[in-house]
Structure 1
Amino acid sequence: MDHFQTLVIGAGPGGYVAAIRAAQLGQKVACVDRWLDAGGKPALGG
């Protein structure tokens, strides 16, 4: 079983930026979303 210091729920624009920043600050991060592709509407074409 993996253990994480930070859990980000939602991989939209704010979620993936938060996950990246937490990782840059040394956290072990998990980012979960109901969709397979990160980025939300901007990544899916609006």
Structure 2
Amino acid sequence: MKLDIRESLDFYKICSSYYVFNQRKLHYINAVSKINMIYIYSNNKNHNIF
């Protein structure tokens, strides 16, 4: 299954806005979003992201 990079960016925006309402979960949210980004990048063999 190939995921769209834009979907992960939308997910990150949602997490960033969620932080405003619940700062205690910031570290968990950042970890999840970073793991998802790494997962998508590592599974996209034709990426020119970095």
- Normalised-by-shorter TM-score class: 0.3 to 0.5
- TM-score by length of structure 2 reads 0.37
- TM-score by length of structure 1 reads 0.39
Q: In proportion to residue count, which structure has more helix?
A: 2
Q: In proportion to residue count, which structure has more strand?
A: 1
